[in-house]
Amino acid sequence: MLEARLLTKIYGGEGGMPPQRAVNGFHLSIHPGEWVGVMGPSGSGKTSLLRMLGTLDLPTSGELWFRGRELTALSPEERAHFRRCHLGFIFQDFRLLEALTLRENTWLPLVLAGEDPSVMQERSDAMAAALGLENGWHRYPRHASGGEKQRAAAIRAMIHRPDLVLADEPTGNLDSKASRALLSAMDTLRQEYGSAILMVTHDPVAASRCERVLFIRDGTLMTEIRRGEDRQDFLRRILTVVSAMGGERLDLEGMGLS
Ligand SMILES: Nc1ncnc2c1ncn2[C@@H]1O[C@H](COP(=O)(O)OP(=O)(O)OP(=O)(O)O)[C@@H](O)[C@H]1O
């Protein structure tokens, strides 16, 4: 469905600043309904990769294709239209509009698609109930907790049933119960509507929900591991790669693993 070919992002290089090669010749194919995790130490290029896959940033070189269409050849307006129709984003910093309540914020993709208001309300209320968001639902972002805002941002990313959800640390502001609820909601969307998910995460437990996890370092794919039948075994293998790559402090006790 989405294919990245030799995707490279180099920042800077002007005014005597040394160029920073954040992503280096990345190849990746994402299939419909697939759940892919991306892990790697801080500064390894995860967000840069996600932003290019989401057409928010153009690569310095390389190509991005979606169902036979070259996204890297589109105009900024065409890319924006593509994003609205096919993608959903969950950012670390929520990006909610302050003038709207959490509930109203989640309607935006459907407003842009010209959807009927009753569909918006029905869908968003059902998703809020699934994520335990009834309490904060009518608050404005400035009066909501980080976890409430994160859940609203996730509903907004998924409400239009996009082909691909790009999520940057979607569970970063949530406790373990809310994390599980959000990951389950993402899984439901994936299974019911065939949406694929690409999720950047530092959390090995969240990563173990994925079908495969890519490990990146210095902008390069180091290794990829796939989930088999046994999720605990997958989690153990993720932990082994994370500790072998270094750069992460693992709170094994907090994960209930020691
Ligand atoms: N807009 C930018 N301008 C210049 N350098 C940048 C920019 N964005 C990222 N970088 C640099 O590119 C490298 C990769 O950054 P990126 O944010 O993609 O990594 P990351 O793996 O997502 O990190 P983290 O886990 O800390 O969010 C880093 O060295 C970072 O400083």
Q: What is the ipTM of this complex?
A: 0.97
In this predicted structure, what is the pLDDT of residue 251?
54
Residue type, 14: E
Q: pLDDT per residue over 166-207, tens digit each?
A: 999 998 878 888 888 889 888 888 888 889 999 999 999 999
Task: With a cut of 50, say whether residue 258 has pLDDT above it.
Answer: no
Q: What is the pTM of this model?
A: 0.89
CA-CA distance, 116 to 159, in Å (whole number)?
Answer: 13
The span from the CA of 219 to the CA of 206, in Å, is 22
Higher pLDDT, 258 or 25: 25
CA-proximal residue: ligand 1, atom 1 (nearest): 11
Q: Taking 90 as the threshold, does the pLDDT of residue 39 lie above it?
A: yes
Does any ligand 1 atom lie closer than 6 A to the CB of residue 11?
yes
Check pLDDT > 80 for residue 102. yes
**Beta 164-168 vs 196-200: how paired, if at all?**
parallel
Q: In angstroms, what is the span from residue 10 Cα to ligand 1's centroid?
A: 10
Point out which residues pair with 2 in neighbouring strands: 30, 66
Token pair for 70: 């070259």
pLDDT in the model for residue 147: 84
Helix (H) or strand (E) holding 25: strand 20-30
Residue 45 in contact with ligand 1 by CB distance below 6 A: yes
Domain segments of the chain: what residues?
2-94+158-175+186-245
Distance of alpha carbon 142 from alpha carbon 102, whole angstroms: 10
Instruction: Tell me the pLDDT tens digit for each residue of 206-254.
Output: 999 999 999 999 999 999 999 998 999 999 999 999 988 875 555 555 5
Residue with the smallest CA separation from ligand 1 atom 4 is 11
Backbone angles phi, psi at 207, to 5 degrees: -60, -30
- Hey, which residues does 10 pair with through a beta bridge? 21
Looking at the domain that runs over 2-94+158-175+186-245, which CATH code has it been given?
A: 3.40.50.300
For the chain, give the mean pLDDT.
Answer: 90
Ligand 1: which atom is nearest the Cα of residue 49? 18
